[in-house]
């Protein structure tokens, strides 16, 4: 019987580029920026890396369909390398490949790296090229803001919330992220905003306004993983290990049947439940010290607080307004600014989330450092509420 990978794999080094509009740098430049930080952090040489996973989602026109640019750009001579893609969960998918390789005993050191140069595509938001006849037929004018605006409408209807109350809770989510992002020198957006700024902003897809939406960025993030025993041999005192890695993909039931009410992310419920079991967590509200979630829109973060079992059904708006997920709240969320402000280069986002938790666990987050950080969760979501992939990673100090 499978018993998971809890504490079988250690993260010994991580790196992250500055996110933003990096017009002057290529994808390879961003990969190298993140990789050099990770190698220095790990205290290993590049020749020790035995396998690599590259996560790229929408920028394959420039990066390519293989992991060749990773191996060439980082001079990782003749190692097995694989390019992966899993929508906005691509970064976590790359980490999953590297972690499983070490857990299986296939190699001692593995690299996971995610990168995206979205600003070069010329789109204001996510590039949306044709994906085949069926998608073009069913969803010729579909948009991410439109899909997640429907999530907001369904949530408000289910819990009979006044529109103003939900909107104010969503605004609090955005203001919190901007406040946290202002403390992060690598974040794309570092300006503080007010509740009134959010409430008065132009509507993108009702009830989502401008400040309810994350932007897109250029950036890269990476991790080097090994076994806890090797990590200790490298002189690591506070060994950080992977407690759980879980993935859930929509089967089509949400889109095709009436059992889904449209007010939740079912895959997040499933993946988090599996992750808690793998990590040995019975009460996530008590166990988790910080979380990084996929706040592509403010309503997404709000709903996820319930899907992850951190707020009771219908209580997320109240918990948010009471500061439960603020920097000084019970469970700080998006302490680095999240997708909203750190940025969202799709292939890198999942690893960027883990990067912040990793720094916090080691007491190295600078101005952002929390007083207590022993266990953290990242949640990555790709797709729309009715059809998506959800990835959960939980990391903490080695038991």
User: Which one from 57, 88, 213, 341 is the annotated catalytic residue?
Assistant: 88
User: Which one from 178, 344, 384, 386 is the annotated catalytic residue?
Assistant: 344
Annotate 268-324 with three-state secondary structure. HHHHHHHHHHHHCCCCHHHHCCEEECCCCEHHHHHHHHHHCCCCCCCCHHHHHHCCC
Question: Which residues, at least 6 apart from 64, have a Cβ–Cβ distance to it below 8 Å?
Answer: 83
Instruction: Note the pLDDT of residue 1.
Output: 58
Domain 10-125+218-240 falls under CATH 3.40.47.10: yes
Rounded to the nearest 5°, which phi and psi values hold at 397?
A: -70, 145
Among residues 242, 246, 263, the alpha carbon closest in space to that of 380 is found at: 246
Instruction: Note the pLDDT of residue 353.
Output: 98
Domain boundaries, the chain: 10-125+218-240, 144-213+243-397
Whether 10-125+218-240 shares its CATH topology with 144-213+243-397 is answered: yes
Token pair recorded at residue 204: 């993108």
The b/e string for 271-302 (b: 16+ C-beta within 10 A; e otherwise) is bbbbbbebbebeebeebbbbbbbbbbbbbbbb
Token pair recorded at residue 44: 């290993």
> Does the annotation mark 398 as catalytic?
no
Cα 188 to Cα 36, 182, 308, distances in angstroms: 20, 10, 27
DSSP 8-state code for residue 218: E
Instruction: Note the pLDDT of residue 128.
Output: 61
């890695």: which residue's tokens? 245
| pLDDT, averaged in runs of 10, over the chain (399 residues) | 89 97 94 98 97 90 85 94 95 98 98 91 64 58 86 97 97 98 97 98 97 94 98 95 98 87 97 98 98 98 98 98 98 98 95 98 97 97 94 95
Instruction: Note the pLDDT of residue 256.
Output: 85
> Does the annotation mark 88 as catalytic?
yes
* Strand ranges in 195-285 using DSSP code E only, listed in sequence order: 203-205, 208-209, 218-226, 240-249
Distance of CA 329 to the CA centre of its chain: 21
Rounded to the nearest 5°, which phi and psi values hold at 6?
A: -55, 125
Which CATH superfamily does the domain covering 144-213+243-397 fall into? Thiolase/Chalcone synthase (3.40.47.10)
């Amino acid at each position: 019987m499978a018993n998971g990978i809890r504490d079988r794999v250690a993260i010994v080094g991580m790196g992250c580029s500055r996110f933003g509009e990096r017009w002057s740098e290529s994808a390879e430049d961003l990969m190298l920026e993140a990789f050099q930080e990770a190698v220095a952090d790990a205290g290993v040489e590049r020749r020790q890396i035995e396998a690599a996973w590259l996560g790229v989602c929408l920028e394959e026109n420039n990066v390519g369909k293989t992991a060749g640019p990773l191996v060439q750009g980082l001079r990782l001579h003749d190692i097995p390398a694989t390019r992966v893609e899993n929508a906005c969960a691509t970064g976590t998918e790359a980490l999953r490949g590297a972690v499983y390789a070490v857990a299986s005993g296939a190699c001692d050191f593995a690299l996971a790296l995610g990168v995206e140069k979205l600003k070069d595509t010329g789109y204001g938001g996510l590039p949306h090229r044709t994906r085949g006849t069926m998608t073009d037929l069913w969803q010729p004018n579909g948009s991410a803001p439109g899909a997640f605006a429907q999530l907001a409408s369904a949530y408000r209807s289910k819990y009979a919330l006044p529109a103003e109350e939900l909107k104010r809770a969503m605004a609090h989510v955005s203001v919190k992220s901007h406040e946290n992002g202002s403390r992060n020198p690598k974040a794309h957006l570092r300006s503080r905003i007010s509740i009134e700024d959010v409430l008065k902003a132009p509507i993108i897809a009702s009830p989502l306004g401008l400040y309810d939406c994350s932007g897109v960025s250029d950036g890269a993030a990476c991790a080097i993983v090994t076994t806890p025993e090797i990590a200790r041999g490298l002189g690591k005192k506070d060994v950080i290990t992977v407690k759980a890695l879980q993935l859930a993909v929509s089967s089509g039931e949400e889109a095709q049947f009436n059992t889904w009410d449209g007010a939740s992310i079912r895959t997040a419920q499933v993946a988090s439940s599996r992750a808690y079991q793998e990590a040995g967590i019975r009460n996530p509200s008590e166990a988790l010290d910080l979380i990084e979630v996929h706040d592509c829109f403010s309503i997404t973060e709000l709903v996820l607080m319930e899907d992850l079992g951190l707020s009771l059904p219908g209580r997320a708006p109240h918990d948010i307004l009471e500061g439960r997920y603020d920097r000084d709240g019970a469970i700080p969320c998006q302490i680095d600014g999240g997708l909203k402000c750190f940025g969202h280069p799709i292939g890198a986002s999942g690893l960027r989330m883990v990067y912040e938790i990793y720094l916090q666990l080691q007491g190295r987050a600078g101005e952002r450092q929390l007083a207590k950080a022993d266990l953290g969760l990242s949640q990555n979501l790709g797709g729309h509420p009715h059809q998506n992939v959800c990835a959960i990673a939980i990391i903490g100090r080695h038991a």
